[in-house]
Amino acid sequence: MAYHLYRGDLPTLLSSGTYTQDPLSVPEASQWCNLILTTFSDPDVPAPGAPYFYLVTPVNLMEGSLGFDGAKQPRLNTDPCP
């Protein structure tokens, strides 16, 4: 099994509701696709007052869910790994 790891900018999430953010339009966002290891260390450090958040999905034949938000609604994957 592999994993996709998504890093997002928390202020962008709070203002837009977008969980998987496009790294081309949100510089703090990043995607690491098809990871095999279950541990990962992000070398980047967020700017003060602009924390990151992370979401992981399992990948078997298809990509799994991002889970649910605080309102128990499915988190949409609007910018998935290729």
Burial of 14 (0-12, 13-18, 19+ CB in 10 A): exposed
pTM: 0.93
Sheet holding 52-59, edge to edge: 30-35, 2-9, 52-59
pLDDT at 23: 96
Longest CA–CA separation in the chain, Å: 39
CA-wise closest residue to 5 among 45, 23, 16, 17 = 23
pLDDT at 1: 93
Query: What integer is the mean pLDDT of 40-60?
Result: 97
Domain boundaries, the chain: 2-59
pLDDT at 2: 98
